[in-house]
Amino acid sequence: MTDHLTIVTHPLVQHKLTLMRDKNTSTGEFRALLREISALLAYEVTRELELTTRAIETPMQEMDAPVLKGKKLALISILRAGNGLLDGVLELIPSARVGFVGLYRDEATLKPVQYYCKLPEGLEDRLVIVVDPMLATGNSSAAAVDLLKAAGATSIRFMCLLAAPEGVARMKEAHPDVPIVTAALDKRLNDKGYILPGLGDAGDRMFGTK
């Protein structure tokens, strides 16, 4: 993947995203849509997985057929909203290992502080896909990637539903080697760090909290 930012413009993704943005969409519908859209985004984020061939016999003849080369994968969810993207990705890649990173924002310093981290072993040999629906300021995403690199990860992608230009710029500055896949690049952040037009608080909308 060479582009730093890939926007998945597929009509199914765009249609589902519009339903998710609508404030009248229920929690149950929002969660189901998130699962579906995450599988479609996973399709894009894994586009360049390496293939090899295996000799098989079809009912007609022998052939060397493409199969995945078998690079191991790790999905890393940024708590808590990242969890909404896990199931859809795991449907496509059931054998992926899953890790969790929890960060909160210190209101005095405005810096992300880690409160939870549980990562799969052998990150250095894995393609690591970080999932978080909203790339807003990019501070927690950049901090999560810092942490993954410190744990040995060298091949990292970031998958989100919506990105703000501020978050994309922050990630490009901090981690130019980490390609981002998103369903849309929105206009800007408001003064509370929410994406406009956005879809509100992704965690609240998927879990029905306020």
Nearest distance from C-beta of residue 132 to ligand URA, angstroms: 9
Contact between 198 and ligand URA per CB under 6 A:
yes
The catalytic position among 25, 80, 105, 146 is: 105
Quick check: 75 and 118 in contact, CB under 8 A? Answer: no
**In the numeric block, which tokens belong to residue 106?**
């210190």
Q: Where in 104-163 is the site for ligand URA (CB under 6 A)?
A: 134, 136
User: Is 105 marked active-site?
Assistant: yes
Taking CB under 6 A as the criterion, the residue among 87, 146, 166, 201 binding ligand URA is 201
Give the nearer residue to ligand URA in terms of CB position, either 52 or 190: 190
- Number of residues in contact with ligand URA under rule CB under 6 A: 10
Contact between 79 and ligand URA per CB under 6 A:
no
User: Is 204 marked active-site?
Assistant: yes
Q: Which residues are catalytic?
A: 105, 109, 201, 204
Interface residues with ligand URA (CB under 6 A) are 81, 134, 136, 193-195, 198, 201-203
